[in-house]
Amino acid sequence: MRLRHMSHRTEASYLQYIVDFIRFWGKRHPRELGAGGIRVYPSHLATDKNVAASTQNVALSALLFLYRQVLHMDLPEIDNIERARHPKRVPVVFTPAEVEAILAHSPARIFW
């Protein structure tokens, strides 16, 4: 990772997720797991640990780095793994009735 000039924080978080991945699978070597093991882990993070989509994506990136760069394993199945999507945020908008209620309780000194 340092040869690729990755940040120290990226290095630390990748290491954390790789160790957690190995522990999740009962300390089995990642070579034994393959793409199926990679697919299950982000789902485990989402359902059991209730992590955000960005955290799932960082964990997946760490595993892809492990398999491609460290273990030199070419798993074509992992290219099709779908990344977690961020939930769409809906803006909070007041209804006309709510705006009237707010303005009704506002001091008369406010000029628009």
CA distance 58 to 16: 11
Q: Give the whole-number percent of the chain exceeding pLDDT 70.
A: 85
For 112, residues 6+ apart whose C-beta sits below 8 A from its C-beta are: none
Residue-wise pLDDT for 30-66, tens only, equals: 888 877 788 888 888 888 888 888 888 899 889 989 9
User: Across all residues in the chain, what is the average pLDDT?
Assistant: 83
For residue 18, pLDDT over 90 is answered with: yes
Question: Average pLDDT, stretch 2-17?
Answer: 90
CB 81, CB 34: distance < 8 Å: no
Query: Which of the four pLDDT bands, split at 50, 70 and 90, describes residue 111?
Result: low
| pLDDT for the residue numbered 81 | 66
pLDDT at 31: 85
In the chain, the domains with their CATH numbers are 8-87 (1.10.150.130)
- pLDDT band per the 50, 70, 90 thresholds, residue 82: low
Query: Mean pLDDT lowest for which of 24-28, 65-69, 77-81, 91-95?
Result: 77-81
Global confidence as pTM: 0.66
